Amino acid sequence: MSGLEGLLVVIGLTAMTLLSRGLFFLSEREIPLPPWLEPGLRVAPLAALGAVVAPEILLDQGRLVSTWKDPRLWAAAAGAAWFFWRRGILGTIVCGMAVLLALRFGLGW
Amino acid sequence: MADPPVPDLGSRSSRPPALPPPSPLWRDPDFVQGARDMAALLPAIAAWGVITGVTMANSGMGLALALAMSLLVYGGSAQLVATPLVAAGAPLWVVLATAACVNLRFVVLSVAWRPYLRGYPRATRWRLAYFASDLNYVLFVQRYPEPVPAPGQLAYFWGGAWATWGVWHVASLAGIFLGDRVPVNWGFGFAGTLALLGMVCTLLKDRASLVALAVAASASVVAWALPLKLNIVVAIAAAVAASLVFDALRAPQGSGGRV
């Protein structure tokens, strides 16, 4: 990839990330959304995050994980369990990573 | 329809000369609180930043491009998904379309940001947009569940935003320069996924949101093979549709279905 193309990619990605983050609050005017859609949009942030997270946990090289000996499954389960027990995101991360590293280095998964 | 009044956040330019200068933003208690709330997430942001830096450095895209992308784009998932495409010499539109699908979650969040932020001047909103990350959003709505502007919100936003920005760039640059010396296969990058998982758990409020999450997660996995990361678009559409159906089934006839 030439320098110019690289520059275009960086400018394009920067502009697109900026616009997508602010799309609905950068404009002065209300961007009309159909009223019937509004109750559905309440779940959209959750759905968007879930859509990003689920494949990271459940897929391996684009295929559904077929063994229970995948440390990511247990790490995610441990992290979620911590969250609903203690309600802390730092604990979710620490607990999940502890399980992940323990299984990877302790059991060699 | 008139915009809501902009909360008075102490305009720095019009202060009377007799008063002592207002304390700087970083002394503002809301700013400090924003940074403090974000602190719990900083280890994950750092791990995610290092992984992004290493991935870019090892992709063969070149140091200059990796640095430019890291310093300007400021979007981890967009950078991660664009990196292999750039390294493989994919056409510009493919790179941008793929990143757009990954960034769709920000578009969705910008709808939720609007009632809080639309009263601020345009220049402020552009700056806010650059820093409006998903982690910032979840912390913000936890502190301000009512979607109305309130004093202190801007300071709280910037507290979290600056903490994220600083840690992200230090980590990402460290990743770029350390490159091969970081043991990527240890799985540190999973800390970023766990942070997002924590966010997901935070947003789980009721049965309807559980249904939406199940639908989105399944759809995203099933549609994984689609090009350009369209599985994320499919997943959001499916979850919104499912939640509309769920609401319609639950709402008694004639009550309008509004909570």
ipTM: 0.87
Torsions phi, psi of B251, nearest 5? -70, 135
pLDDT tier at A77, thresholds 50, 70, 90: very high
Size of interface A-B (CB pairs under 8 A): 279
Tell me if chain A has a CB within 8 Å of the CB of B46. no
A97: enclosing H helix or E strand:
helix A89-101
pLDDT for residue B253? 55
Q: Comparing A76 with B50, which gets the higher pLDDT?
A: A76
Q: Can you give the pTM of this predicted structure? A: 0.78
pLDDT tier at A65, thresholds 50, 70, 90: confident
What average pLDDT does the segment A70-88 reach? Answer: 91
Nearest to B215, CA basis, from B239, B198, B234: B239
Whole-number percent of chain A with pLDDT over 90: 39
Q: Where are the alpha helices (DSSP H) in A27-86?
A: 38-41, 44-58, 71-86
- The residues, ordered by sequence, that sit 6+ positions from A18 with a Cβ below 8 Å of its Cβ are B126, B129, B130
Q: Which of B82, B105, B219 sits opposite A13 (nearest CB)?
A: B82
pLDDT tier at A62, thresholds 50, 70, 90: confident
Q: Rounded distance, CA B108 to CA A21, Å?
A: 8
pLDDT (tens digit, 0 to 9) for every residue of chain B, 259 residues total?
Answer: 445 555 444 444 444 445 555 667 878 899 999 999 999 889 888 888 888 888 888 888 888 999 999 999 998 888 888 888 888 788 888 889 888 888 888 998 999 999 999 899 999 999 999 999 988 998 999 999 999 999 999 999 999 999 999 999 999 999 899 877 777 677 777 887 888 898 889 888 888 899 999 999 999 999 988 888 888 889 999 999 999 998 888 876 544 444 4
Three-state SS sequence of chain B: CCCCCCCCCCCCCCCCCCCCCCCCHHHCHHHHHHHHHHHCCHHHHHHHHHHHHHHHHHCCCCHHHHHHHHHHCCCHHHHHHHHHHHHCCCCHHHHHHHHHHHCHHHHHHHHHHHHHHCCCCHHHHHHHHHHCCHHHHHHHHHHCCCCCCCCCHHHHHHHHHHHHHHHHHHHHHHHHHHHHHCCHHHCCCHHHHHHHHHHHHHHCCCHHHHHHHHHHHHHHHHCCCCHHHHHHHHHHHHHHHHHHHHHHHHCCCCCCCCC
Residue A60: strand, helix, or coil: strand
In chain A, the residue whose alpha carbon lies closest to the alpha carbon of B232 is A51
**Do residues B101 and B233 lie in contact, with contact meaning Cβ atoms separated by under 8 Å?**
yes
Sign of the alpha-carbon dihedral angle for A93, A99, A102, A107 = negative
CB within 8 Å: B195 and A89: yes
- Identify all chain B residues contacting A92, using CB atoms and an 8 Å cutoff: 194-195, 197-198, 201
CB within 8 Å: A40 and B241: yes
Average pLDDT, chain A: 87
A41 has pLDDT over 90: no
Question: Could you tell me the two tokens for A1?
Answer: 């990839």
pLDDT for residue B17? 47
Q: Comparing A37 with A58, which gets the higher pLDDT?
A: A58
A86 has pLDDT over 70: yes
- Identify all chain A residues contacting B241, using CB atoms and an 8 Å cutoff: 40
Q: Which of B100, B231, B247 sits opposite A20 (nearest CB)?
A: B100
| 182-201 in chain B: CB under 8 A from chain A | 186-188, 190-191, 193-201
